[in-house]
Copies of this chain bind each other. A is one copy, B any other.
């Protein structure tokens, strides 16, 4: 193959000879000893293809990108040459020239949270089907790290960004906007609402959970809340209060304990609630990891679920039905959240313009034994 390439150097198409001389030198270096830092495996460049097909690089580019009409005969020659050389265009060079790429950045706040990873699956499936690759960035709810990654997204010419914002106000999308990189926020609301977003009806989900507990006969319902600094935390807490109000249950400040959406904080918050002089007879926990922690705290006591304390957690998980008793949850359509997010981003990438859109998906209550008091439940 290398030989055939060289024989074509003398074709009537005159390309920069200096350049091809240099390229041949490179090949030699590669063949003999490997240089200190590895040469790319993109063995063939567009110039090699052009030479072999006896056309200009411009024509090769046109064939590849199909923007302009090209003589079918030439196009065929080019395609044959591409196959012959096993040529793949350099994404880096293309990105430098066009200032675009086909990589999407997904900036999430906790890679260990199954909610986000399931969501990423949804994003990935849609993106992969449209030939986009994903870069997953774990900002860990750290605004500085988030900012780093947003900067990286611009610097690397990312085609688009999916962002679960660390805070409603601390996130600065200006540089993305300036660079013309489309963004879709997901899961958490941003103060700035001229941005595409996919959200869950967190208030509704929390209301449902509390109402369910009420219907199950619980009357002193506590809450392990997330941080009110992020919209999911604030909304779920608001929903909890709304649920209490709907049934004229007292809204006792003491009954709300705050965590940070991680497991340990759930344990601590639950312990605080259990230590109250007049502890709750049921709790609504605002996310999956804190629910784990809360269950840990309960397990350390002699309390039994649901007889001594009922529990409903936000976010469904594969293992929720396996707990004894099985755990009642407010499940989010995580995969669909991701898929919908990806679709929104793709629509921007294919030219849609307009003001920020909002898609709100509904959570679903999975009633299991952790919240159903048969004794209190019976209407009799």
Q: Which residues of B contact A319 (CB under 8 A)?
A: 292, 317, 319, 323
Cβ of A309 within 8 Å of any chain B Cβ, yes or no, is: no
Judge whether B111 and A155 touch: CB under 8 Å: no
Cβ of A88 under 8 Å from chain B? yes
Cβ of A211 within 8 Å of any chain B Cβ, yes or no, is no
Contact call A96/B98, Cβ cutoff below 8 A: no
List residues of A whose CB falls within 8 A of some B CB: 34, 37-43, 88, 90-93, 95-96, 98-100, 103, 111-112, 114, 117-118, 120-121, 124, 128, 133-138, 145, 149, 151-152, 154-157, 175-176, 178-181, 263, 289, 292, 295-296, 299, 317-319, 321-325
Closest 6 CB pairs of A and B: A38-B180, A324-B324, A41-B179, A136-B136, A41-B178, A135-B135
Complex CA gap A162/B210 in Å reads 45
Q: Which residue of B lies closest to A325 (CB)?
A: B324
Task: Contact check, B155 vs A88: say whether CB atoms are below 8 A apart.
Answer: yes
Provide the bound-state CA to CA distance between A92 and B155, in Å.
Answer: 7
Query: By the criterion CB–CB under 8 Å, are B156 and A318 in contact?
Result: no
Rounded to whole angstroms, the CA-CA distance of A40 and B179 in the bound complex is: 4
Give bound CA distance, A324 to B326, whole Å: 10
Chain B residue nearest in CB terms to A118: B112
Report chain B residues within 8 Å CB of A117. 111-112, 117
In the bound complex, residues from chain B placing their C-beta under 8 Å from that of A42 are: 154-155, 179
Chain B residues near A145 (CB, 8 Å)? 128
Chain B residues in 8 Å Cβ range of A43: 178
B135 touches A136 (CB 8 A): yes
Contact B124 A180 (CB under 8 A): no
Closest CB in chain B relative to A3 CB, distance in Å: 18
A92-B156, A92-B157 known; A181+B38 contact, CB < 8 A? yes
For A99, the chain B residues whose CB sits under 8 A away are 37-40
